[in-house]
Structure 1
Amino acid sequence: MWRGRATTVRFVLPADVGDPGSPSGGNVYDLRVSAGAERLLVAGDWPRPHDTAALEQTLAGIPDGEVVLLDGLVACGVPEVVVPHARRLRLAVLVHLPLADETGLDPAAAAVLDEKEREVLRAVGAVVATSPTAARDLETRHGLGHVHVVVPGTDPAPAARGTDGVHNLLCVASITPRKGHDLLVRALQRVDADWRLTCAGPHRPFLRELPPDDRVSFPGPLAGEALTSAYVNADLFVLASRAETWGMVVTEALAHGLPVIASSVPDALGDGGLLVPAGDENAWEAALTRWFQDREFRSGLRAKALARRARLSTWDESTRDLRRVLATLRP
């Protein structure tokens, strides 16, 4: 339980955090580490809301001196709301992805978001990042000295069986430019091999911009047994993200012992698979070609995934780590 002897920890989260139609790694993280705590959900088109009244009212209703953790998507774009409350509340901000790193932002908008985020993060008592790489980036980007790392956990999962061991590929990610589906499909189309790719995740307008190919299927967001079945029946997990702070779907795949080729996820992947340079279509083509043509390479990736599977942290560990961070805010 999150309730301490003198303080109740409150989590301020986006209102859609529990929406099954909009799954995301950030939402899963928020739900898992906030279990047992008081969740305060605020509606708005974050991180650039037209109306901040819901967040203002939520923070104003919390007594002075209380410990509050805010999701960065809610907090980092509105310093005019958050910073004044940092003077009376013990605030921490959880950053899943720096606001300016979202793919598709024009430079001017990114610069504004970066400055707003800097103002918020410098004002609060603690910043929580979800990976060592993300923590170093925040420290350098914003000149911070109070960034803590709390990596996502994993649940025990059944081992992947695959199909024929080669040709059934799986990607689990929202269909957005940042996740690199366009690059992945183009690279696969250049590979001389029989393949099938399942892209599980919420459909976005970006779907219409992907190269057409009847070997690619889009079943939408999967959860529960359907998601487990997708992992268990896959031969290879692929994620061509242009930017990530962790990449929870990678550790989910590794929890199944599923071979992984991915970009932008050095901390989540560790030594459990092949890390490809982000945005490099030629490198993706070479990696996928090797997967289809080199049996020893495939066997090596499976062995790496199984070894990493045995060392993954749990959600209980993540929750304990976060509690230790928030305890530093108490007198």
Structure 2
Amino acid sequence: MTTASVAFAIPGDLMTPTGGYGYDRRLLAGLRDLGRAVEHIPLAASFPEPSAADNRDAAQRLAAVPAHCPVIIDGLALGAMDRAVLAGMSAPIVALIHHPLARESGLDPARSRALLASERDNLELAAHVVVTSPHTAALLTADYGVARGRITVARPGADRHRGRGAPVDPPLILAVGTLVPRKGHDVLLRALARLIDRPWQAVLAGAGRDADYRDGLVRLEAELDLSGRVRLAGRVAAAELAELYRQASLFALATRYEGHGMVFDEAMTVGLPIVSCRTGAVPDTVAPGAGLLVPVNDPAAFAAALAQLLDDPRRRATMAAASAAAGAALPGWSETVQQIACVLDCVVSRD
């Protein structure tokens, strides 16, 4: 049995420029392209810190979905909902977990434990769980008690880029990621300060969702005397971002944790060598030969990896070729959407 209808509950602004929201946008559009009637259920932007009123609003919206219509719930909301919100639903739940909320950097230990408990409890109520990487699948099985047979890995699709790169001089080091502690932009700045004697320029592109962290980066940039070498670009339009990828020689993200990391796929589709950290799903996402991975929170190691590529154009070219080959082999979004469509059909047929 197949279903032509599905609901998709997403907290906040669907157009938020992050990998998770980008995945949600492509999934919503892709299911509609398959002929499915998809109802977008907007939830409060306060998730994953919902107020009591926002939990009540979510409960009302989700309880209204009929029993024959599966509901995909983005993990940004699902993991932080009151369990009663999900227990009051008659529709089957498909949880979409980009990365567990409890793994966000900078959380108070008590808050991290509370999120781990609520995510674990709420995942018990899901008919099926979709994750974006094998790493997250293994994590949910080991730490959250989700049976592997209830999990489908639907990695993000990749868009094919046309045209050749045109690296600028001095070499552009590009970092793309929301300005939040987990992305490790502070570590990148400290690493770049160790390379001040070399010719390079850097752009950090990403929306400043955490105002305190962004302000801290601005202060750190000044303290490290990086003004004129580093540009905190903030949120950039798609055309400008594409041009930055075209001009770059290196992609660098000193992330503290990733559930997948769509920006690494993006970097590989344009054939950029990658410097990042050995954490979360990064080792599974960055193809062998396409990048150098170092420990988390280690500016010295990160600087050494950047220096290797800045100082050795031949090695940089070899890694760029490996990156481009890996990018060309990535699945497209149609494959990702079809995987999840099959999950929806199976959930409904079981009911």
Provide the residue aligned with 1:237 in structure 2. Answer: 251
Closer/same/farther in 2, CA of residues 285 and 25 from structure 1, 3 Å limit: same
Question: How far apart, CA to CA, are the structure 2 residues paired with 1:79 and 1:93?
Answer: 15
| Residue 301 (structure 1) aligned with residue 326 (structure 2) | no
| Cα separation, 2, equivalents of 1:160 and 1:260 | 15
Residue 61, structure 1, aligned to residue 39, structure 2: no
Matches within 5 A, 1:1-331: 6-18=3-15, 22-35=16-29, 36=32, 37-50=38-51, 51=53, 52-85=55-88, 88-145=90-147, 146-158=150-162, 159-164=164-169, 167-191=171-195, 192-203=197-208, 204-205=210-211, 206-210=213-217, 211-212=220-221, 213-214=226-227, 215-263=229-277, 264=279, 265-271=282-288, 272-331=290-349
Are 1:79 and 1:117, in contact at CA under 8 Å, matched by a contact in 2? no
SS in 2 for 1:330: helix
TM superposition shift of 1:315: 0.7
The DSSP-based 3-state class of the residue aligned with 2:347 is coil
Q: Does the 8 Å contact 2:187/2:299 carry over to 1?
A: yes
| Cα shift at 1:274 | 2.0
Structure 1 outlier segments of 4+, above 4 Å: 4-7
Query: Per-residue deviation at 1:6?
Result: 4.3
Contact 1:7 1:67 in 2 (8 A): no
Once the two structures are overlaid, the 10-residue window that deviates more, 189-198 or 237-246, is 189-198
Q: Deviations over 1:11-38 (max 9, x none)?
A: 11113112xxx31000000000111122
Deviation at 1:307, TM superposition (A): 1.2
Higher helix share: 2
**Mapped partners of 2:9, 2:254: distance in 1:** 31
Q: Structure 2: how far apart are the matches of 1:5 and 1:321?
A: 13
TM-aligned CA deviation for residue 277 of structure 1 = 2.4
Q: TM-score, normalised by structure 1?
A: 0.93
Cα distance in 2 between the residues matched to 1:142 and 1:101: 12
Q: Per the alignment, in what secondary structure is the counterpart of residue 74 of structure 1?
A: helix
SS in 1 for 2:5: coil
Alignment: residue pair count? 323
In 1, the alpha carbon distance for the partners of 2:2 and 2:325 equals: 41
Taking the aligned partners of 1:114 and 1:160, their CA distance within structure 2 comes to: 43
Gaps of 5+ in 2: 33-37
Whether the aligned pair in 2 keeps the contact of 1:14 and 1:41 (CA below 8 Å) is: yes
Is the 1:82–1:120 contact (alpha carbons within 8 Å) kept by the matching residues of 2? no
CA shift digits 1:116-158 (9 cap, x unpaired): 0000111211111100111111111111111210000111113
Secondary structure at the counterpart of residue 124 of structure 2: helix
Residue 123 of structure 1 aligns to a residue whose secondary structure is coil
Structure 1 CA distance for aligned equivalents of residues 92 and 205 of structure 2: 39
In 1, the alpha carbon distance for the partners of 2:337 and 2:65 equals 23
Counterparts of 2:318 and 2:295, CA distance in 1 = 20
Alpha carbons of 1:96 and 1:6: their partners in 2 closer, same or farther (altered >3 Å)? Answer: closer
Residues 298-318 of structure 1: per-residue CA shift (max 9 Å, x gap)? 122111111112211111111
Secondary structure (helix, strand or coil) at the match of 1:33 reads: helix
Output the amino acid matched with 2:186.
Answer: D
The unaligned stretches of length 5 or more in structure 1 are none
- The structural deviation recorded for 1:5 is 5.2
| Matches of 2:4 and 2:327, distance apart in 1 | 36
The CA deviation string for residues 277-306 of structure 1, in whole angstroms up to 9 with x for no partner, is 222222202101111212332122111111
Distance 1:174 1:41 in 2: 22
* Superposed displacement of residue 259, structure 1: 1.8
Fraction of identical pairs, as percent: 35
| Residue identity matched to 2:333 | W
